[in-house]
Structures are given as structure tokens and as C-alpha cells.
Structure 1
Amino acid sequence: MTSVFDAGPAAPCPAPFNLAAHVLAHARDLGDKPALEVLSPDRSEIWSYDQLERAVRGIATGLLQRGLKPRDKILMRMGNTVDFPLSYLGAIAAGMVPVPTSSQLTAPEVAKMITALDPAAILFSNGIAVPENSGCTEIGQAELDAMHALPPADYEMGDPERLAYIIYTSGTSGQPRAVCHAHRAIWARQMMHAGWSGLRISDRLLHAGAFNWTFTLGTGLMDPWSIGATALIPEDGTAPEALPALLRKHKATIFAAVPGVYRKILSQPNIPDLPDLRHGLAAGENLPETLRRAWQAATGGQIYEAFGMSECSTFISSSPTTPAENGMIGRPQIGRRVALIDPETGEIVPHGSAGTIAIHRSDPGLMLGYLGAEDETNSKYIDDWFITGDQAVMDQSGGVSYLGRDDDMMNAGGFRVSPLEVEAALLPHPDIREIGATDIRVKEGTSVIMAFYTSDTPIDEAALKDYAAARLARYKQPRAYIRLPKLPSNPNGKLSRRALKESHEAHLRRT
């Protein structure tokens, strides 16, 4: 038997369709029900479904009045506030194409994106880096806020296959890739509700991430809103250690976070009882079995893990109805078609054998492609299978055990980062001769990015950190810099990041 899971096709996306209209389809019926609560220790900022939809459609009107048109790309340079999802959905409601970006990106990083995207406008918050003389229409926070009160625009309905939004992911080429998604991508997330989160209309889902992170945007906001549940988001600056008190006070029924946040919560000596919490959700990086068990011992609840990527969100997961067996991440969600493939031969591997995770071209959540990179898009396919680059083993029941990446991509707190991008940013330093970056496991379940370099004389680490800070977003910056006599290479003379990783992790184990 081969490692392929096919439980039948997903329900087709209706047409005409609009992603924002789908997300807010329950708004008219739910009216005053809280759609969003922004939490702080002292108070909550509450948005009803009625307020949410009026603000979104008002922003759509305002963007149209500013001369923007359907299909125009809009670069989002906004902070961790509710204005981020409001503006994102407002642009989509009007048929425009928002491009959300991390607020941590530097002006040079954003300038490269502008060159590749040619956006018609930039939406920005004060204090978020925007290149000077961008050449785009610039719309600031105050103007966006004033749009909330404008008459509501009609949703721009159309083909569910048309472009809805673009997100960036680090690529193996070293340059961030613009991943294009269709409106139908939100329709596909219904498979995640059933196969991972177990969302109900009565749920209160607290997501630990920031508004301007795609993990939060999907799992923490649009998923609850799509079924009429309530989203809970901690205010900017909330420490992970403060989350248990918020979970208890605001009667959260589901908690979503990257594994690192669970780890920080569990480092506290006392965690309060969480009587309303049904379960937790984890994604973005591998969830260690020891962490899952520690959470269960401390809270009595389960964490359900999901695997996915920017090109297709999550499609393998465990859930309350299909919990994962020991050591597994879960099973392909019902409606998905997933296989493990040998990329050398293009053949589907037998059950019990290691292969590369692949998802079928027909999946409604799969990207349209990489912007302006048709050849790179096509190179990701073997026949009709999109190849992820992640290794796994599948058993006869469809259970998947994750083995890790088969390339050099790094994981920094749930963000995938290309070592080539980090190296390219640091190599111009006048005193660095060679440099290699990789993620190093410093303890079970925790990895950090480190840079290894050669130079004629030692370089002050603080100066290297300042150099990186001017060129890389915080999550891409190495946490440590190590000078070596020479960098390891493979027989072809290329840098061996695997050797860097293995030798340094062995050194840490000895010390």
C-alpha cells in the first residue's frame, strides 16, 4: 500500500464569491453579539458583529473613493491593532488585493517588496517602517479610522478563483516569495474547522498572536467570524505569562498559539484552573510530545497540532474527534488529498517509508502560484502533486509522523526563514569574509537562529547585532554570532549548514 490519503473531494466553492462576504456572512443575523474582544488586564475593547461589518464595508468605500480599483494591490504596513484585520477585509470586500506584512520588516526589506509588487497604495500605522518616496498612494491610520463611518460598499462578487490576497514567505532562493491566494482559500478552511479546531458558534477562541500575523488573521479571527463565534486577542505587549489569567477571566473555550508560547506559560510555578477551556491549538512549528503531556498535566486539557505552510495553510492535523497517536502530528483533513512522495523518482512511497509531504493540485486551499514566478511555481509540482519539502512517514490509517525539513529552511518562533536571506543581509559587513546561518536547537523544542562567520579579526557581537537590526526583521536576526577558523563545506565546495548545525548542537550537548 502506498502513502496516499484521499477521503473524497471537498465541497465546491460557490460562485459568485467574495472572501470578506463569506467571513462576515453571519454579521447581519448576529448583530450585537461580540465578534472581537481585545483583552487587557483592566478592560476589554469589544466589537460587535454589526460594528465589525460596518467598519469593514466603510473602509471598502473609503478605498474606492481614494481612486483605488478592484485588482489593485495594497501593501499593508500596520501595527498590532484591530485596524489591521479591518483594513485587510475592507480591501478584499472591494475586490482589491491586500498584501499583509510583518511590522518588524525594515525599510530596505519593504522597498524590495514594493519593486516586486508595484502596489497602488500603502496602508500604514505611525512608527511602522515605510520607505521614503515609495511612489504609492499612502493612507495613514487616522484616515482609515475615519472611513469606518462611511456608507457601506457592496461586496465585489466574482469568480472564486480570482486573486484575493498575497502573503510573503521566505524562499529557498534567499528572497521572500509572494504567495498568491484565491478567494476560495477561505472556503477551504472549513476542512480545518472540522479536522483541527472543532470550532462551534458558541466558542470564544483566544489567539496569542498579533493582529498582523497571518496565523492570527486566519485561525484567530477569520475562522471564528466565519461561523459566528467570538475572537479574543490580547492587546499589544501582553506577555505570555499573563495569558492564563486572561483565559480564565474571559472564559476562553479554545486557545491557539505556537508551541513556544505554551512553553513559556508552563514555565510558571502556578497555572490557574481553566474551567471553560476545552482544548488548545498549536501550529507554526513542531509540537514536542513532552510539551503536549506537560500541558495536559498542568491544565487537564489537550493540545491539537496542525501542519501546513503559507502555500496551503494547514491540511494535516489532530482534532477533538481524531486525536493523534503518540508521536504523530495527525491525519490529513477530510476533503484533502495528501501523499508522501520520493522527489527523486516522483513515486508515492509505501506506508511506513519516509517521503516528502505533497498535496494535490485540486485542493481548494492551495495557492494560485508565486507572483511573477511561473517557472518556480511549476518547479514545486511533480505531476499533480505540490511538493512541500517536509519529510514524514504515513501509516495505513493515514496517521502522519513528522520527520523535519529536507532543505535548510529555518524556523524562528513559527516564522519560516531562509538562511540565504540572512546570509545575504550580513555578508556585506566589511569585516566578514564568509558567513553561514542555521537554526540551532538549544533545548528540547526550542531552536534559535545563529550565524557562523570567518574574519581576519574578531568582530564585536553588539556591532554585528546592530548591523543585522538595520537590515532584517527582528525574527530573522541571529541570536548569537560565532567566529570559526573556517566554515564546513560539502565535496562540491558549498557551505554545509547541516554540518554547522550538527557540530554546534553536539558541542552544546557536551557543555
Structure 2
Amino acid sequence: MAHTDRRSQRDDYDELYNGFRWQVPDEFNIAEVCCARWAGDDGRIAVYYEDDQGYSGTLTYAELQRQANRLSNVLQARGARRGDRIAIILPQRVETAVAHIACHQIGAVAMPMSILFGPDALEYRLQNSEAVVAIVDQAAAAALQEIRAQCPALREVIAVDCALPGALDWAEEMQSALEHFMPVRTRHSDPAVLIYTSGTTGAPKGALIPHAAIIGNLTGFVASQNWFPQDGDVFWSPADWAWTGGLMDALLPTLYFGKPIVGYRGRFSADTAFALLEKYGVTNTFLFPTALKMMMKAFPAPRDRFKLKLRAIMSAGEAVGDAVFNWCETALGVTPNEMFGQTEMNYIVGNSARRWPAKPGSMGRPYPGHLVAVIDDEGNRAKPGEIGEVAIRRTDIHGHPDPIFFLGYWRNPEATQAKYTGDWCRTGDLASMDEDGYLWYQGRADDMFKAAGYRIGPSEIENCLVKHPSVANAAVVPKPDAERGALVKAYVVLVAGTARSPEDDARLVRELQEHVRGKLAPYEYPKEIEFIEELPMTTTGKVQRRILRLREQERAQAD
């Protein structure tokens, strides 16, 4: 699709944004809106699930409610009460959805944690949160068992599909529990979820999120999914349900609208992704740019091989870049809607190809209900085109409270206070805003660096590198240099099957440097390129440039 075609697309943005008003009931609970209100329809499907061993099944909303009632009774019988933290250390499986609904029904705080966490990561979060119950399956059972004795607040462990000494058996407890439960009543401002940030600087912080936050998410979710829900919509995302991206951008909003979501327990691959999209007739998805790059490299023309029903793709976590953007449009027939948000205030900026035109490479515009700006260190708004920090105001354009906000960092008022400048909540991400209100991502504040006096943002260079047919992924960081302060260095993951020898590598380095030099500013091309088997990634699919920066600093100090 040509740029001129996009400019002629429908643009309802001003009307949608200016006319939007929040409606947040005083009494509100995630369990009621995401399950109970749909449970009377016996045939309504909540979850399609399968794993990498070929096991598959279907869960209706009625069955989800019955199981959640049983677990609510189990939790209460074991002493869990309103406000208690309950750790959910599970992958994408039915029991994960059941656990979340059950927690909210008793007024407890659901604390999802990744099955990829090692013992130290689990111990810190369990100790810091003083979680009283942990629900775990075989994926993280050993790690949890190793540190359980160091978590005195943890009274009970419930083991799913695995034998664990000193733990309750999920199946046995559920079988003997009553199927009727009377949910507690909660206010919209009551705490619902505790998610620990990935801790790129300092120890991870627990972001305490209220029930109302799901309402705050909805304008962005609906818009980025091209006006979800529609008849026949089916959602799938590989995003881990333990993280904001999987929980608040996929699982809960899909259940909020009473639609089915696909849960897959297994490792992500391009083959698996397309197989799931085809098998379940997936219409809506959230795919990280890293996942889209893998899919693009593996299947340049996917519709020649797979029958797809995709009508919306949301992407977030990193900049998509125009290489992936154009592939989505031409090869998948879907304009990707980029989105930006954080655990603390999620789904605040993005696109909606159905209602306003996207600018390739842009993060999009503030979603209705959110007053977002680019600000300087003093909290003043930057001029169009100037780089500053993305921030969101506590109130919308009408002066009404925005329900998107977290309540604060768990038992860390200093960090909560530092997040704000007046009424502006800072994201730590840099961007510029153009005259049309579109934001252009410039990287994390600590990802930007200067080389020979020039300000370098890594994402543009990485996007350029990925356009080369031999490059699967790339990360750009500063390499300390006595003369220039820093050199631009690229870590590059090559496409599988790329010829490798000292001569091949030297030729490819020159080729990639010329590739970037010919497309970007001369000072942006990587003076050094290092080939690497895989980039360090967070469990949410973001490249950890910080690790690569530290590697370069350590090497420089050793020289």
C-alpha cells in the first residue's frame, strides 16, 4: 500500500479523541466483567488450548466460572483473604485463567510470574510481596521448591499436574471444593494485580494495578485490534500471560468481551505461529516485533502456504520498523497497529488502521481517554520534532481522572513519587511528536548515546540492518572510544543457513556497513559489527541492550 493511499484513508481520530468520556462504575471487579456475566451462555468458548505435545481442548465461560468458584473456595479455606497476594507461576494454560478469576472473586491480588524465572527472581518477588499462596506447575516447580523455605509468608503451594513435597494437589483440592461461591464486592480503585517490572535499572519494582485499569486499557485494545470485538473474532498472542502484554493486552480484554482466546503452552516459532493462526481461524493478534521478524524471515509469502483470517495485528515492545510494517501489509494483508504503554500505565499510544491512517515507523497517536505529551526534564511540553520523554497526565483532556494508572509501586513510595513530575507520569521512553500528534520512538532514555557528538537512537539503525536478507535481528549499542566518546556497534543475529567463514564474515560486515551507510546518515553506520547466536532478551521479548552495553564497557576497561 503506497503512502499516498494511507493519507487518503479514513481519519476519525479527532472526533473519537475529543468526544470520548470515561465511564467507571464505583463498584467494579475484573472477575465479574471477564467471566461471570458470560457464564450463563453454556456454549460460549473462553479458551482454546493446546501444548507442544499435541494435547488440546476447549473451555467455555460456564466451565471457567465453575472452576474459578471451586478455586475461590479452596483459597478461602486455606486462609487467603481480601488484599492477600497470590502468586500465579503458570504458562498459557486453562488453570492460569481460572486462577486469575478466582483471585479477583475473593478480592485478593493476583501476582503473575514467569515460568522462566530462576530461584533468585522468584525469591525476591515472593519475599517482597509477602505472597501467601503460590500456584505452580512443573515448569517452575523445582525453582520454587528450592527457595520456599526462604519465603516465610508463603503458607501454601498448589501444584498443577506435578507432585511437589509439601504442596496441595490442584486436582484433589478442586474435586472436593464446592462449585458455588459468592464473590466479594470491590471498588474500581481496589488493588487487583501486582506485576513486577523487569528491573532494567535497580531491583524489580512491583506495580500495583487496580481493577479499573482494565477499563483504561479498553480504548487502546479496541482501536489497535480494529474495533474488537466483531462476529467470529478469535484472539491469540504468544505473549506470556504472566506479563502485562499477555495479561492486559490479550487474556483479560478478550475475556472482557466474551470472545475466545487461544492458549498455547510451548516454545514460539514461526511455524507454530502460522499453524495456530490457521488452525483456530485467528482474526486478532498481538505479536512482538521480534516475533514478526522471525515470521517474515521464515515465510516471506505466508498466504501462499497458509489460509489466514487475520484482520488485525497489534505490535509493541520495540519499534516495528518499515521492513516488517511493509511485509505485514503486502504479505499478510494487514496494516500493523503499533502500540506503546507500560505496566504502570498501559495501552496509552498507538494506531488503528480501521479509523485513522498509520505512519510507518510511528508509535501512533494517544488513544482516546489519555492525555499524552513529550516533556522535558522540568515537565514542560517539547515543541513538535523535539526529543523528550513520553508522559501521560493523571487527567484526560476533559479534566476527568484517567483509569489507566497504577496505584503505586509496592511498598516503595519513593519510587512512586519519582515516577511523577507534577501531574505527569513519566515513562522513561524518549520520543518526538510531529505536527499531527504522531509520536516517533527514540528508544529508552538510557539507550540513547552520543557518538562523535551526534545523538544516536538505536532503533532506526537496527531497523535498517534487519532489512538486509542475511539479518534475522540486531541490537545497536555504544562502544567506548577515547577519541569519539563512543562508536556505533551492532550485534547481529544472522539468518539460519548464512555462510560462515572468516572471509564470509568480513565480506558481510562490509556489506552491512554499506547497507546502512547508503540509507541513513553517515555517522549512524556501525563502525563495528559482531555476529552473535542470539540477543539477550527479556521474557517479554524486548532486546536487553543494557547487557550488551555493559559487555562493551567491561571489554574497554579490560583493554
TM-score by length of 2: 0.72
CA contact (8 A) 1:123 1:140 kept: yes
* Conserved 8 A contact 1:26-1:226: no
Q: CA separation of 1:287/1:191 partners in 2, compared to 1, >3 Å: closer, same or farther?
A: same
- Whether contact under 8 Å (1:258, 1:283) holds in the other structure is yes
Residue of structure 1 aligned with 2:348, choices 289, 292, 315: 315
1:166/1:152 Cα in 2 relative to 1: closer, same or farther (>3 Å)? same
State the Cα deviation string for residues 59-118 of structure 1 (Å, max 9, x = none): 111100111111111222334422222212211221011211111111122222233212
Shift in Å at residue 32 of structure 1? Answer: 1.5
Offset of residue 166 of structure 1: 0.5
Corresponding residue of 2:148 = 132
* 2:385 maps to which of 349, 352, 357: 352
Counterpart of 2:358? 324
In structure 1, C-alpha distance between the alignment counterparts of 2:25 and 2:191, rounded to whole Å = 16
Aligned ranges 1:372-451 → 2 under 5 Å: 372-408=411-447, 443-444=465-466, 446-447=473-474
Contact kept? 1:36, 1:230, Cα under 8 Å: yes
1:115 to 116, 127, 132: 127
1:6 CA drift (Å): 7.0
Q: Are positions 1:268 and 2:268 aligned together? A: no
Give the C-alpha shift of residue 479 in structure 1.
8.3
* Contact 1:54 1:148 survives alignment (8 Å): no
Q: Aligned partner of 1:279: which letter?
A: A
| 1:275 CA drift (Å) | 4.2
Change (3 A) 1:138 1:450: farther
In structure 1, C-alpha distance between the alignment counterparts of 2:199 and 2:550, rounded to whole Å: 23
> Once superposed, which parts of structure 1, at least 4 consecutive aligned residues long, lie more than 6 Å away?
449-453, 472-477
1:351 to 1:48, Cα distance in 2 relative to 1, 3 A: same
2:507 — aligned with what?
A: none
Cα separation, partners in 2 of 1:132 and 1:172, compared to 1, 3 Å: closer
Q: Within the alignment, does 1:51 sit opposite 2:78 as a pair?
A: no
Q: Per the alignment, do residues 89 and 298 of structure 1 end up closer, same or farther by CA in structure 2, a change over 3 Å counting?
A: same
Higher share in strand: 1
Q: 1:61 touches 1:147 (CA, 8 Å); kept in 2?
A: no
Superposition deviation, residue 351 in structure 1: 2.5
Answer with 401-410 or 46-55: which moved more.
401-410
Q: Do the aligned residues in 2 keep the contact of 1:31 with 1:49 (CA within 8 Å)?
A: yes
Q: Does 1:364 align with 2:375?
A: no
Following superposition, the deviation at residue 10 of structure 1 comes to 4.0
Distance 1:373 1:481 in 2: 27
Per-residue CA shift, 1:332-379, capped at 9, x if unaligned?
111111111112x32112233222111112321111111111121111
> Given that residues 35 and 101 in structure 2 are in contact (C-alpha distance below 8 angstroms), is that contact kept between their aligned partners in structure 1?
no
The alignment status of 1:334 with 2:360, answered yes or no, reads no
User: Alpha carbons of 1:231 and 1:80: their partners in 2 closer, same or farther (altered >3 Å)?
Assistant: closer
Cα drift, residue 253 of structure 1: 1.0
The aligned length equals 442
Deviates more, 1:45-54 or 1:294-303: 294-303
Aligned-partner SS, 1:363: coil
Call closer, same or farther: CA 1:338–1:447 in 2, change over 3 Å: same
CA distance, structure 1, for counterparts of residue 429 and residue 138 of structure 2: 38
Corresponding residue of 1:505: none
Match among 141, 144, 155 for residue 183 of structure 2: 155
Using the alignment, how far apart are the partners of 2:218 and 2:276 within structure 1? 27
Contact 2:277–2:308 (8 Å) recurs in 1:
no
For residues 451 and 15 of structure 1, do their structure 2 counterparts lie closer, same or farther at Cα, with a shift above 3 Å needed?
Answer: same
Instruction: Report the Cα distance in structure 2 between the residues aligned to 1:26 and 1:393, rounded to whole angstroms.
Output: 42
The runs of 5 or more residues in structure 2 that have no matched partner are 1-13, 161-168, 395-400, 450-457, 467-471, 481-535
Instruction: Measure how far apart 1:22 and its partner are.
Output: 1.6
Structure 1 residues 213 and 374 mapped into 2: Cα distance closer, same or farther (>3 Å)?
A: closer
- Does structure 2 conserve the Cα–Cα contact (< 8 Å) formed by 1:71 and 1:97? yes
| 1:228 Cα deviation after fit | 1.4
Query: Residue 144 in 1 paired to residue 135 in 2?
Result: no
Structure 2 CA distance, aligned partners of 1:214 and 1:194?
16
Matched, 1:224 2:254: yes
Cα distance between partner residues in 2 of 1:20 and 1:62:
17
TM norm structure 1? 0.78
- Distance in 2 (alpha carbons) for counterparts of 1:347 and 1:483: 35
Contact 1:104–1:474 under 8 Å retained in 2: no
Q: Give the aligned partner of residue 556 of structure 2.
A: 487
Q: 1:379 to 1:308 in 2, by over 3 A?
A: same
Structure with larger RCO (C-alpha < 8 A, sep 6+): 1
Q: Could you tell me which of 190, 194, 203 is aligned with 1:175?
A: 203
Which residue is equivalent to 1:196?
224
**Which of 6, 13, 17 in structure 1 is aligned with 2:28?**
17
How many Å apart are 1:450 and its aligned residue?
Answer: 9.2
Which is helix-richer, 1 or 2? 2
Mapped partners of 2:539, 2:246: distance in 1: 18
Supply the AA of the counterpart residue of 1:325.
K
Q: What is the alpha-carbon distance in structure 2 between the residues aligned to residue 281 and residue 145 of structure 1?
A: 36
Give the secondary-structure state (helix, strand or coil) at the position aligned to 1:393.
Answer: strand
2:556 is paired with a residue whose SS is coil
Q: Secondary structure at the match of 1:175?
A: coil
Q: Secondary structure at the match of 1:30?
A: coil
Q: Does 1:37 align with 2:58?
A: no
Matched, 1:245 2:275: yes
Shift of 1:33: 1.6
User: d(CA) in 2 for partners of 1:239 and 1:170?
Assistant: 23
User: Which 5+ residue runs of structure 1 have no aligned equivalent?
Assistant: 411-437, 454-468, 490-511
Distance 1:409 1:39, change over 3 A: farther
Q: Is the 8 A contact 1:60 1:152 kept in 2?
A: no
| Alignment match of 1:83 (pick from 95, 107, 110) | 95
* CA pair 373-44 structure 1, distance change in 2 beyond 3 A: same
Instruction: For 2:279, give the aligned amino acid.
Output: K
Q: Which residue identity is paired with 1:124?
A: V
Could you tell me which amino acid in structure 1 is paired with residue 413 of structure 2? E
2:90/2:242 contact within 8 Å kept: yes
Once residues 63 and 323 of structure 1 are traced to their aligned partners in structure 2, the CA distance between those partners, rounded to angstroms, is 48
Q: CA 1:213 to 1:26, structure 2 compared with 1: closer, same or farther past 3 Å? A: same
| Structure 1 counterpart of 2:148, one-letter code | E
Amino acid at match of 1:487: A
CA distance in structure 2 between the partners assigned to 1:190 and 1:482 by the alignment: 40
Rounded to whole Å, the distance in 1 between the matches of 2:380 and 2:93 is: 47
Give the AA of the match of 2:155.
T
Task: Using the TM superposition, give the Cα deviation of residue 239 of structure 1 relative to its aligned residue in structure 2, in angstroms.
Answer: 2.6
Larger mean CA deviation between 24-33 and 285-294 belongs to: 24-33
SS at match of 2:138: coil
CA distance in structure 2 between the partners assigned to 1:352 and 1:244 by the alignment: 39
In percent, how many aligned pairs have the same letter?
23
